[in-house]
Amino acid sequence: MRRDDQQFGLAYLDPSEADDYLARCEGRVLGVIGFGRRATVAHATVWVNIPVLGGHDTCLEVWTSDAPVEPLAYQGIVGASDGKVLFASLSLEQRAGETLEMLAAQSYTSIFEFIERHGYSNLLRVWHYFPQINDNENGVERYRGFNIGRHAAFVAGGRGIGAASVPAASALGSDSGALTIYFMAGKQPGTAVENPRQISAYHYPKLFGPRSPIFARAMSATLGGQPGFLISGTASIVGYETLHRGDAEQQAAETLLNIRTLLQQIPHYNAAQGRLSLKVYLRHAGDLEMVRSKVQAEFGTACVAAYLRSDICRSDLLLEIEGVYFNGAR
C-alpha cells in the first residue's frame, strides 16, 4: 500500500504493515481506526465491527499530519491536533430505554462542545457507525431516528443547516457495538461541494424521514498546506432517488459516476499527480470482485481502496463509496 508518511494524509494498512508505518510517523499520528478483527496496534483508539473484504481480517485507517500533534481529551472524546486540524472520536453504548435518536443528539452535543473548547469550531468530516441501521426502532428506521437526533443537536447548538455549516459525512451499519463516531475539524472552515446530479441531502423531502440527513456531498479544505477533498458516502442516487434497485453492477456504475462528478468540481484535480483513497462498503460480499474491477477500471491501480461488508443507510442501496483526495506528490 502507498505510504505517504511524511505528508498530511491517509493510509489503509493491515496489522503487519502498521507497526513500521506508525513508528515512522511517531509524533504525527492524528488517529487510528480499526475495522474487522481486533489486533494489537499502537494508537488504535476506535474499533468498528465491520468485516474486511479482500483477503484481510483487519484494516487500519491511519490519519497522519505533516506536523507534530498533541493529544486531546474531554468528557469521553479523545483525539489529537496539529495546530490547524483536530481529529477525534467517541463511542456511546445504547442502554436500555435509550433510542438512537437520543444517542445522536447526545453525541453531537458533545462534539460541538469539544471542538469549541479546543478552538477548532469548523466541522469538516464526520464518520458514523452503528448496528441495525435499517431496523425499526419505536416506529422509525434507526437511520432516520439518528437524523432526527443529529438535527436537534445542530439546532440546539445554534448551527445552521446549509452549505456554510454542514460537514461531509457518512453513516454505515456495523455488525454490533456502540454508536461510534470519528471526526475532523479545523480552525479554518472548508468549502462544501455539492453534486449537480443530486439534491443536497439537507433538502431531502420528508419521504426520507422527519428530518433530513445533515451533510455536504464533499468538503474542500487545506490540510497540511495542500488542497484536500473529503468525499462523503456516495451511492447510486440521482436527485434524491435510488436508481437501479436490486442491480449491484448498475449501482456501482452510477456511484462511480457520482464520484467522478464530485472530483470534477475540484479546480486542482489531477488524477495523475494526486493521491486518491477510497473506502468501499458492500451490502453483499459476493459483489466484491465485480465492484473492485469497476473501481480499478475507473481510477487505476494507483488508487488505494479498502473494501468492507456493511449495511448501507438505505435498504435499497447495495454499495456506498467514500473518498479522500490530496493534490500532493506521491
Placement of cell 436527485 in the chain: 239
User: CA-to-CA distance for 203 and 213, rounded, in angstroms?
Assistant: 8
Question: How do 85-92 and 218-223 pair as beta strands?
Answer: unpaired
Give me the half-sphere count of Cα atoms (radius 13 Å) on the Cβ side of residue 73: 4
Beta strands in 95-225 (DSSP E): 122-131, 136-137, 140-141, 168-174, 179-186, 191-193, 218-223
C-alpha cell recorded at residue 200: 443536497
H or E element that contains 321: strand 319-326
Catalytic residues: 320
Given a contact cutoff of 8 angstroms between Cβ atoms, the answer to whether 153 and 166 are in contact is: no
